[in-house]
Amino acid sequence: MEHHQTNAVVNRTMSDRAAHGVRQVLSRGETLYTEDDFSGDWFIVLSGVLRTCRYLPDGHRQVTGFFFPEDVFGLEAPTRRTSAEAVTEVVLMRYDRAFIDGDEGVTLPTIGHTRNLLLGALDAAEGRIELLGLRSACERVSGFLLRMDSLMDEDGYIFLPMGRADIADYLALTVETVSRTLSLLARRKLLSFRGPQRVLLVSRSQLEELAGGRPWSSPATMMQNIAYSTKRDGPTHLRTNQYVSH
């Protein structure tokens, strides 16, 4: 009897953890997990910005993604393919992998159906592939900034919490090239800076032309589109990225 009761408690604890998640706070620069760690959980960012990256044998770093509020990450299995590090202070929710391995998926309280979250993660991954498919530094930097417009403040400026080195390692460019390209775009009056981390997209249409001649959707916009397109599954409760200006 005692054995069965113990199992019931353990199963209930795992179920609660999967359904409600475990809140976790990371300090700026803190590592959440490293490459090749066991992948038993996945995460949703509640606030702050986190990056995933790989450290190559030659010492170079490859940033594979930036994750903002409502973004999902850590879905790889059975081991981590990247490290996850906090760019700013980060608050996230940790969920048990069991709740995405099932065929039907689940709806998590205040967050929505796991299928919608996974679609958002897929869109973000495809967006980086599109960026790296652009040939010139101007094209890549323009496309990157267009995708960051969900970080816009009330003055219309985009706040970039990541440094130039992070952007360079994400776009497969050098820091010097990123800095030079931003200066060039500013001289052409396509951008305007207010300090090193706040940038105004003065001419979005010209930036879109530079970035392959097509409009770019920010991660927050893509998640909103996913939510609207899946109304038949019930309310998703997806919150808009906290940096979006209303």
Residue 225: is its pLDDT beyond 50?
no
Higher pLDDT, 196 or 212: 196
Q: What is the pLDDT of residues 9-41, one digit of tens each?
A: 434 454 555 456 899 999 999 999 999 999 989
> CA 7 to CA 211: how far, in whole Å?
56
Mean pLDDT of the chain: 78
What is the amino acid identity at position 182? L
What beta strand segments (E) does the chain contain? 22-26, 31-33, 41-47, 50-55, 61-67, 72-73, 83-86, 90-96, 107-108, 112-113, 157-159, 191-193, 198-201
CA atoms within 13 A on the CB side of 185: 30
Instruction: Write down the pLDDT at residue 117.
Output: 66
> CA 31 to CA 239: how far, in whole Å?
26
Residue 244: is its pLDDT beyond 70?
no
Q: What is the pLDDT of residues 104-119, one digit of tens each?
A: 555 554 455 566 666 7
Residue 179 class from Cβ within 10 Å (0-12 exposed, 13-18 middle, 19+ buried)?
Answer: middle
Q: What is the mean pLDDT of residues 53-59?
A: 94
> Is the distance from CB of 51 to CB of 65 less than 8 angstroms?
yes
Question: 19-23, 135-139, 211-215, 229-233: which range is least confident on average?
Answer: 229-233
Beta-ladder partners of 72 = 44
Instruction: Write down the pLDDT at residue 75.
Output: 86
Question: 112-126, 128-142, 181-195: which range is least confident on average?
Answer: 112-126
> CA 142 to CA 214: how far, in whole Å?
11
Q: What is the pLDDT of residues 182-199, one digit of tens each?
A: 999 999 999 999 999 999
User: Which 3 state secondary structure label does DSSP give 186?
Assistant: helix
> CA 53 to CA 169: how far, in whole Å?
9
Residue 102: is its pLDDT beyond 80?
no
Confidence of residue 58 (pLDDT cuts 50, 70, 90): very high
Instruction: Write down the pLDDT at residue 237.
Output: 31
Q: Say what the pTM is.
A: 0.75
Residue 69: is its pLDDT beyond 60?
yes
> Is the distance from CB of 227 to CB of 237 less than 8 angstroms?
no
Instruction: Write down the pLDDT at residue 127.
Output: 74
What is the amino acid identity at position 131? L
Instruction: Write down the pLDDT at residue 129.
Output: 79
